[in-house]
Structures are given as C-alpha cells and as structure tokens.
C-alpha cells in the first residue's frame, strides 16, 4: 500500500479558509458536522487538508457558516475545481516540498511581486547564475540535486509563457545586481537577461541604487503572490530554517504596505533599465 501524500500548500490553504469561516461563525466542529450530515472526524479531516471536499459540499459549508462574500466563495470553489497535476509533480520526492508548493502557488497566482536585496530574483535568473547561487549553499548539494534545483527554477518561468502570462514586478537592490555569485561573464549575462525580460509588457523591474534616500522598509527578501481574491493572497519569506508561506490578513496587509514603500523609493522602470545597463557596461 502506498504512503498517503501530504496535502500541498494550496490544499492546506483551502482547508484553513474553511476552518476560519467556521470559527468566524462561532460554530463548533460537532455543530458543523451535524449541519453537513457527517461526523466531526470528517470535518477535522477537511479542515486539516487530509481529506478533499467537493464543490457542492464546500458551498453548503459556506452557507451553513453564513458567509455572504460570493466572490470569496467562488474563489474557494475554483480551488476545488482547479487541481492540475502540474509540471512540478515530476520533482516530488526529489526536491523539498516547498519547491513544489512555490511552483504551484505561482501557477495559480494572479500577480507576482518580489523584493530582492542580495540575489537577482529567481524568476529572472539565467541557468548559470542559478547554478552558482545554489552551489554556494552550505553544506554543498550533490551534483544531481544541484541540477534538479536549477532545472526546477528555470521551469518556474512557465508563468511568463502563453497568452495570459502572470504580471510580475521585481524591486531589486543595487547590491543584488552587483554581487557576483560567479565570474564576470556570468554576472554580465545575468544583467543583460534582466534587461531583456524587463522589455516584456507583463514584467516590470525596478532598481534601488545604493545612494537612494529613504530605503529601509525591506529587511529581507519577500514575495507576494496574488490569489483569485485579495483574501487569498500569499506572502513568502525565505529563512535559514526554510520557506514560510504567510496568509493571515494582518500579515498580508503588512507585506502589501512594505512592498508599496519599497516600490516608492525605487527608480521607475525606464530609469531602472538605464541603471542596469550602466552596471552591465562596467563588467
């Protein structure tokens, strides 16, 4: 018998939102089970992501919890319907789960915002730059896993391809643009790649020069991914102990404010391209 797979971050988010709806309504698990005609164990399994839920049952639950936000209910129903076995599944069991969860999150996002201080954003990296960045990890990665991580990072760029690419904005500090994770040639090729990508209508790159006044809002890299409705947005923070997915309303509000502040002190897209072009010419 195969081992039951843990729920993905997206499935866990759906489960969490259902629990939040129930708790906001002041209904216990036992009461929710009685209203739905199931036992309380099934409610617990649904709210932990251990058990799936049909769209019909989800809408009944929302009605039982007196939720009147129809756009939010429809967005949750969309999470039930849209469960593709994405390209990231080929890496399951080969890469840490957060790599897969991030790719799934990006696949479903309505926008992507990044703030980077020390590295070029992953979605803008060349394979050579990504390989050098992963190679700096301590302890060192085995060659096979190193190449898997590079390939996975390159495949994440699928959100930029097709008739409906995900709108993307990156705010990148000059330090990240200047730090050479490898040699001069790799650094120059990376900057030229950023310039090339920034010409696309759906990709915006903003730079923050070292001498820019008023920069202090971002103390570490951060990422925002838009959900079908703002309530389903997700923030992501990288930390030494792993990737963290943040979905509380208060924290999301904080990250949106931080991004606006960082964006406000950055160069506009045209001046940013000129700035990055000058950095590339120096190499």
Tokens found for residue 235:
């923030």
Angle at 254 between CA 250 and CA 257, to 5 degrees: 140
The answer to whether 53 and 46 have CB atoms below 8 angstroms apart is: yes
The fourth-level CATH superfamily of domain 9-81 is lambda repressor-like DNA-binding domains (1.10.260.40)
Q: What is the pTM of this model?
A: 0.92
Cα distance between residue 28 and residue 10, in whole Å: 24
Cβ-Cβ contacts under 8 Å for 204 (sequence gap 6 or more) = 167, 168, 169, 170, 198, 269
Side-chain-side CA neighbours of 173 within 13 Å: the count stands at: 22
Q: Walk along the chain (283 residues) and give the pLDDT tens digit of each residue.
A: 444 578 899 999 999 999 999 999 999 999 999 999 999 999 999 999 999 899 999 999 999 999 999 999 999 999 998 776 899 999 999 999 999 999 999 999 999 999 999 999 999 999 999 999 999 887 899 999 999 999 999 999 999 999 999 999 999 999 999 999 999 999 999 999 999 999 999 999 999 999 988 777 667 789 999 999 999 999 998 755 557 899 999 999 999 999 999 999 999 999 999 999 999 999 9
In this chain, the answer to whether the domains covering 9-81 and 87-282 adopt an identical fold is no
Tokens found for residue 8:
């993905």
Q: May I ask the CATH architecture of the domain 87-282? A: 2-Layer Sandwich (3.30)
Cα distance between residue 27 and residue 18, in whole Å: 12
| Beta-carbon count within 10 A of 93 CB | 9
The answer to whether 272 and 198 have CB atoms below 8 angstroms apart is: yes
Domain range list for the chain = 9-81, 87-282
Cβ-Cβ contacts under 8 Å for 175 (sequence gap 6 or more) = 117, 118, 210
């Amino acid at each position: 018998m195969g081992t039951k797979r843990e729920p993905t971050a997206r499935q866990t988010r759906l489960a969490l939102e259902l629990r939040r709806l129930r708790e906001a309504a002041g209904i216990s698990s036992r009461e929710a089970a009685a209203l739905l005609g199931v036992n309380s164990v099934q409610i617990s399994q649904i709210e932990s992501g251990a058990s799936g839920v049909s769209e019909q049952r989800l809408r009944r639950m929302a009605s039982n919890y007196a939720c009147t936000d129809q756009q939010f209910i429809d967005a949750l129903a969309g999470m039930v319907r849209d469960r593709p076995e994405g390209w990231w599944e080929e890496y399951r069991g080969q890469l840490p789960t957060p790599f897969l969860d991030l790719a799934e999150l990006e696949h479903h996002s309505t926008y992507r915002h990044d703030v980077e201080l020390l590295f070029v954003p992953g979605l803008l990296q060349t394979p050579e730059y990504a390989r050098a960045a992963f190679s700096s990890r301590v302890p060192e990665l085995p060659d096979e896993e190193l190449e898997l991580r590079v390939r996975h990072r390159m495949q994440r760029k699928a959100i930029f391809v097709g008739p409906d690419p995900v709108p993307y904005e990156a705010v990148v500090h000059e330090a990240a643009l200047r730090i050479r994770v490898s040699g001069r040639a790799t650094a120059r090729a990376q900057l030229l790649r950023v310039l090339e990508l920034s010409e696309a209508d759906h990709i915006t790159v903003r730079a923050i020069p070292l001498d820019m006044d008023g920069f202090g809002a971002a103390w570490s890299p951060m990422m925002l991914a838009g959900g079908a409705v703002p309530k389903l947005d997700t923030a992501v923070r990288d930390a030494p102990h792993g990737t963290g997915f943040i979905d509380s309303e208060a924290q999301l509000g904080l990250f949106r404010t931080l991004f606006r502040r960082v964006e406000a002190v950055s160069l506009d897209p045209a001046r940013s391209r000129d700035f990055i072009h000058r950095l590339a010419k120096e190499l």
